[in-house]
Structure formats: structure tokens, C-alpha cells
Amino acid sequence: MAAVAAVAARRRRSWAGLGLLCFGVCLGITLAVDRSNFKTCEESSFCKRQRSIRPGPSPYRALLDSLQLGPDALTIHLIHEVTKVVLVLELQGLQRNMTRIRIDELEPLRPRYRVPDVLVAEPLAARLSVSGRDDSSVELTVAEGPYKIILTAQPFRLDLLQGRSLLLSVNARGLLEFEHQRARGVPFSDKVRLTLGSMWDKIKNLFSRQGSRDPAEGGGAQPEETPGDGDQASWAQETQGKTEKDEPGAWEETFKTHTDSKPYGPTSVGLDFSLPGMEHVYGIPEHADSLRLRVTEGGEPYRLYNLDVFQYELDNPMALYGSVPVLLAHSAQRDLGIFWLNAAETWVDISSNTAGKTLFGKMLDYLQGSGETPQTDVHWMSESGIVDVFLLLGPSALDVFRQYASLTGTQALPPLFSLGYHQSRWNYRDEADVLEVDQGFDDHNFPCDVIWLDIEHADGKRYFTWDPSRFPQPRTMLEHLASKRRKLVAIVDPHIKVDSGYRVHEELRNQGLYVKTRDGSDYEGWCWPGSAAYPDFTNPAMRAWWANMFSFENYEGSAPNLYVWNDMNEPSVFNGPEVTMLKDAQHHGGWEHRDVHNIYGLYVHMATADGLVQRSGGVERPFVLSRAFFAGSQRFGAVWTGDNTAEWGHLKISVPMCLSLGLVGLSFCGADVGGFFKNPDPELLVRWYQMGAYQPFFRAHAHLDTGRREPWLLPAQHQDIIRDALGQRYSLLPYWYTLFYQAHREGLPVMRPLWVHYPQDVTTFSVDDQFLLGDALLVHPVSDAGAHGVQVYLPGPGEVWYDVQSYQKHHGPQTLYLPVTLSTIPVFQRGGTVVPRWMRVRRSSDCMKDDPITLFVALSAQGTAQGELYLDDGHTFNYQTRSEFLWRRFSFSGNTLVSSSADSRSHFETPVWIERVVIIGAGKPAAVVLQMPGASESRLSFQHNPETSVLVIRKPGVRVASDWSIHLR
């Protein structure tokens, strides 16, 4: 019950929801995560069972005679040598250098859950063929790519090879464990009683037969008793029981005061993967931990189980709000990915044969010739479902990103406004408060695109409503914001107040669209409104109903500039086990909550985004922020790192957290600027604005009990620094928008670790205090209190890096000590790139979208550069449905800058023109000439600074949509 107090303390209400407040206060208030409210692996019975299996020969054998090779897949049976239970393995080669492995029971008592709606389409198969075979193995060749798969029968394992190089092994450590469904065994006490009774009955029968034998029957020996079918089944069950102990928690599990009935018994699955040559692995968010995943031997595995964790701690593998079961492995030679498609609670163990060795120790091994090949082993364990895993074979990191995107989709192209600055707190009191904040941005010359409303805006926390006393005229308020070309975001959470007078609740109850308890009644728990019921978003009918609620007719007071925030969608249940839903709750199709838990938040996000699209007739792009997420959530909008704290460690951890999310497709990530809990001092708040200005999602947010933090409330010197950080953000919006188009088009992360572009530079492999935006900008935000300097690593042999403020030139690779003041944001542009900017910062992005562009051309050591610019209307799907967009490519070589179309299909009428070209690293030309097709040359005015080697070409005056070239002579 302390979990309820912890969560209730997090968002304590001053007067609304008094009953819930008292409920939390009576249980006590804490100020940090109470770890006892969340399970360890030892307390999760299936994790404990799976983890107790020691590496060794696998008990599974592949039955080679059962092999069947079809046009799209190979199937083969696997038998457990002790229990004789048969599994079926389905192996597919896929196009784009991928392999899919599925393992299920051959004859399950009931179907196992297979995760739907995550894959955007059925992956295209690449034909497998048998290229070799003997008594113990089969060699398979994949039609696409130079890969072979060796299937070894006993013990069962798979090895993927390229030429003679082993890329990856499956079940090499023998950790495949598939808890097959079975009837529940007789409890031990009953078994003893029945066994003793059976023995007594046999003794009685024996003496009875001997005593009553008729002499006429003769004295020959009697035939032994042949067991009937029932006895054979009992014997098999008992034999099986010797190897499959029904340990505590297998058929019923209690955590704190909550009991999970487990009516179908233990059904967990586990499998190991060995990655030779790999020492660095990443991904499997969400965790408040380093970018590079740690070895978990001797500690806790990484946990993937969407949870509402109160004031989470840093540097540990505890589960947080979202789960993406994708792991990336990197070495100087290649990159690989593992996508474990399972929506149940999952734990991931990581081990390495080089763990604990120092760099000196590794060098000594190498010099002595005694070093073994580095290898990382990954053990996945899930509570239910099947084994369904995709092996993404790269070979580069960019290839892995594209492979994963081909399966689960790319980042949704966000509306332009959502890349601007968002101002939020829990809560802006009323309409007057919202309008005062809106005016404050104009009065103090700070740009802002969006103001946010938390749960107090609704009538008694009844979502899709407005508090009649504090927000009596929401449409008028929205119209006022629209006149300023700003937007509003309102929270809509997926827990519904149980109130017979609340239309939303009544319709969901009457239509049977709530999650059910195991006895068939509506599942209810405690959340912000008090007693709440939970819509079953796994039901397509529920998602359609929810989407329809965002129509302007159903969501009274809404308007086209109102967007949505889905919080608490793990789902959060204050009085539930681990602050979430009971695992034996029932969902659409008869599935248990344990099967679907990690995908619930994705479905909420999906339905909400669909609703915003539908309300515009399919014309307008949605914006929806979600706290919970899963693989594929990138298709529906943005995520953030949850309820962080105003501490320097939380500022620092936001970098690896967002980098990890970007690696698995979720590029639209940010952290609450200033920290949700506690009050930041001015230095920390300033540094957080500087950090947020260079992270994809840029929102300030704060707890109800914190002081007001609007930027104009700080002393004047701090206001100026924050204004400059906001100005840098808005100036770079054309570049941000272009990066998001690349993410949408190809699946490439917006915010990238250095090793993605410098895969052979070992120094970059563990760097997580700086990052790349696209391939052009390197950012090292200051994240230490009282810092007077930072150590910036500039990677790349032969690379040139330019400080974007001073234009000072630096050569890579080097570690540069950069002195900093409170106003410094260390940002460097890579030589060889072109970055577009808007140089006039206005009140919102919508006020800037037709402004002229300035191109910053940073020359490489070879005197070349290239870059792109993407533009469209910033808010509709016309770029997709009508090809109404511009995608321009800029190339500089031979002292000539050329603008050309990167997509011949594109067309978009825009007044945007090129106002200025800034060439960094250039000498002084004698003349600068503009050439356009069908026009005569024209000379352009320019200015050259010999100290910085910066050439500024003024007013070329060409439209951004035109083809042109500028020549330096």
C-alpha cells in the first residue's frame, strides 16, 4: 500500500480530489522511489526460474526428419529430451538482411499471444535453400545477402555466418526455456495422501487376490498389472514434475498484498544470443542509465515492464514508463540488432567475457597472444507469449536503423509547431492564468509555440470536459491563442472516473469496453479521479470509440489548435501491484493483462493520434505526447523521460536516455526542462534550457508544489541567457524539420551517439555526455554545477569542426578543453555540411515559416560540403497525399555551391528565399557570381573575415525552390 502513497505524494492535490488525497496522506508520504514497491528478478517468479538455468548443453534437440522448407519459411520440430514436449521452430530469411525466428508449442492447450499491430506489414521473405546437410546439422543459404545459417540438431542451436565469420549464435549457451502449458499438478500434501492411499489399496488388493484365489485357477504366476490410460498420464506428469518443479509462484504469485491467480500456470519463454566480437551493446529502453548497457551478472537484469515509478533513481536497470525490446550491438567491424517481439514483462541479462578487464589487461592478453575473442551474451526472458525475434544483420548502424524501421515504421513527421518551445506546469489555474502566461512570452520577447494544461483543467478529472468555474469558455481561450499563432495541449488520461453521471463512463460501461477482472466484472482501481475504470484499448472497437471522442462535436470546447497529452498510460493504478494493473485482468479476445501489458500504452497513443487525424477529415497531422510506449510508438508522436527531478544528475541522464530512445526509432524525445520535482536554482534552470534547446522535444514542466518558473521570473541576466537558448532553437528549426523528415523517410535517429558516424573510433563507443544532431552538429551541453570548462571530444581523422559561435576551426580526432561561462552552449558544425537557419526569431514557429533562409556552409579539409533542406506547409498530410513539399540538396565543391532538387516528384509554392550564404573555412574570392538556368550571370556582394575565414554572401535573392549555383572566383 505504500506504493499508493508514493504516487499520491507525487501529484498531491490541494483541494480537488480530496478523498484520494486523504487516501495517500493516511499512508504516509515519501520523497523518492520506494524500491520495495517494485519487483526484483528474485521476486518475479518466472525471472527467478529462467535465471536459475545455468549455461550448458541445451535439453532441446531438433528433429531433422521433421524439417519442411516452404517458399517463405522453414519449419522444424524441437523436442525436449526429458519432458518430450515438442515445439515448432519457424525460421525465415527476410529481405534487407534480416532473419526471423519464431518458436511456439506444437500443440498448446490454448493459443499463445502473438503481438499484433506493431509490425507495419508482414515482412517480405527472402527464400531459404538447403545448401548442405549431414546427420547432425543443416546448412541454409539466404537468397538475399552473403549469409548462411547452420542449424545444429543436438543440442539445438543456430549459427549465422558471413563467409567464415560467425556473426551471431542462438541458444549456444543452452538457455532456451519454453514453459509449456499443462494441467495443474496435484498439491504436494494431496499427492502424499493419495500416494499413501493408493499404496494401501494395492496391498489390500494383493492380499485380497491371494486369499480368494480358487484352486481351480491353478497356481501359475499372475500377469503384472497393466496401467490404464489414466495411470500412464499420471506417470508422465510425475516424471515431468521431477524436471519441472512447480516452484512457488508458478501457479499463483503474491507480491505485497496482491495475488496473481495465474489460471494458466507458468508460460514463460527465454532464449540466449551470443555476439562474438561485440563488447558494446545499447538500447532496450527505458532506463535511467548509461547509453552503453552494463553487464548484469551479479546484479539485476534490465527490466522491460511499463511502470509509473515515483521519482525514479538514476544509474540502475529498474523498469520505467516505456519498453522497447530492441538491442543493438556495435563493434568497429559491424553492427547488429535483436528485436524481441513480446509485450509481456521481460528481463534482459547481459554478460561478457571481457567484463571487469581493464584496457591494460586487454592489451596484455593481446600481446601475450592469450586473449580470447570478445563476446557479449544476451539472455531474454518473458513471462508469456511466444519467442518471436528478428535478427537485424546490418552491417552498419544506419542499415540496422532502416531494417528496424521497415518492420515497425518510422517516426511520424511532426507538425512544425511541435518542434518549438512548450510551456507547461501542473497546473495553470484558469483561463486568465493561461492568457497571462501567453502574454508574458510576448511582453518579455521569448518565443513559444504551445501552452499545456494538466489534469486540473477537467471537471473533476473527467477527461474530455472542462472545469466550469476555471475554464468556462475554452473555445474563446483557444481562439485567442490561435490569434497569436499558438497552440494548447490538454491532458487526456486513459483512466475513467466511475460516475453514473459522466457520459464517457456510462457509454464505455454500457458497451462493455472496459478491461475486465478475472470474474468478468469491470476492472476498477484508484487513480486521479478516485475510483476509475480502464478502457480496453486492445479492442479495436474501443480504439475507434476513443478516436471518435476527439471530434469537435464530442469533445466540447475543443478547436483545431488543441492537441493531446496521454499520461498514466502504463497503465497507472495507484492501488494495483507495482502501481499498475493486475496481470490476470481480462482483455479483448480472452487475453490476460500479462500478455499485453507493455503494448497498452501504444494502443492509447494510437487511438488518440487517430482521433486527431479523423477530426480534420484526414488532413491535419496530429501531435500527441505519450508517457508509455512500445516498439512502433514512433508512428504516433512524441515521448518524454517522465517525472524527473531538479537535480544535476537528472539533467545529465537525459542525454543517454534520449539517445537510447533514438536508437530504437523514437526520435521525438525530451526531458522536462527544469525537472518535474523540486525547485531548480537559476544555474540549473539555465543549463536545462540550454540542454532542452538541443533535444528533439523541448518542454518545460513542473510539479504542483514547485514555484512558478516562467523564464521572465528569473533575474534579468538569466533571462537573457534563456532567451538566447530559445533563439538558437528557433533559428535551427529548418534544420530540425529536415532531420525529422529524414527520420520519417528512412528511420534515421535525429539525435545520434557519436559512434553511429564514427564506427571505428573506440573512444566514441561509451560517450554519452555529447551527441550529434544529424551528421552536421555536435553538441556538448554543460551539465555540471559551477563548470568553468568542458572536455569535448571531436571525432574523425581528417575531420574539421567549427565552433558555431566563434567559427574557430579544430581538427579531429582530439579532446578539446573548452572554457565556458553560464551563457555558453558548446556546439560545433562538422566541416563538409550545410545547415539551414531562420535568422529572425519571432513569437512562434508559425510566424517564421515563410521567412528567408540563411545557409551555413562549413567546408571540409577538402573544401567540400553538402546538406539538405525540407519544407512543406508544416501541418497537413499534403506532403504525402499530393507531394506538396520541397526537398532541396546543397552541394559545394570546386568553389561552387549548387542547389538542386533531391526529389523530382516534389512541388510546393512558398515565398521562402535565400537571404544569405555563410561559408565557413573559405578564402577571399575576387568575385561571387550567381547563375540560374535561362538567366545571365549576376554578381553578388560579399564580405570576408580573414581572421575567422568566414565568407558572407548577401542577398542572393533566389527562391528556395529554384535551381541555382553560386561561384567563387
Q: Catalytic site residues?
A: 567, 643
Please count the other Cβ atoms lying within 10 Å of the Cβ belonging to residue 518: 16
Distances (CA, A) of 951 to 300, 918, 942: 56, 6, 7
Angle between helices 716-731 and 682-692 (to 10 degrees): 10
| Phi, psi values for residue 27, rounded to 5° | -95, -5
CA distance 770 to 755: 11
| Phi, psi values for residue 718, rounded to 5° | -75, -35
- Cβ 598 vs Cβ 343: under 8 Å: yes
Q: Is 581 exposed, middle or buried (0-12, 13-18, 19+ CB in 10 A)?
A: buried
Cα–chain-centroid distance for residue 252?
Answer: 31
CA distance 826 to 790: 9
Radius of gyration of the chain (CA): 31
Q: Is 883 exposed, middle or buried (0-12, 13-18, 19+ CB in 10 A)?
A: middle
CA distance 663 to 280: 14
- Owner of C-alpha cell 555466418: 161
Cα–chain-centroid distance for residue 160?
Answer: 27
Cα–chain-centroid distance for residue 563?
Answer: 22
CA distance 338 to 293: 14
Report DSSP letters for 467-517, one per residue.
-TTT-S-HHHHHHHHHHTT-EEEEE--S-EE--TT-HHHHHHHHTT-B-B-
Interior CA angle at 479 toward 474 and 482, to 5°?
130
Helix (H) / strand (E) containing 152? strand 147-152
What residues contact 782, with CB distance under 8 A and at least 6 apart? 687, 690, 790, 820, 824, 825, 826
Distances (CA, A) of 12 to 419, 438, 483, 573: 31, 26, 35, 16
Beta bridge partners of 794: 814
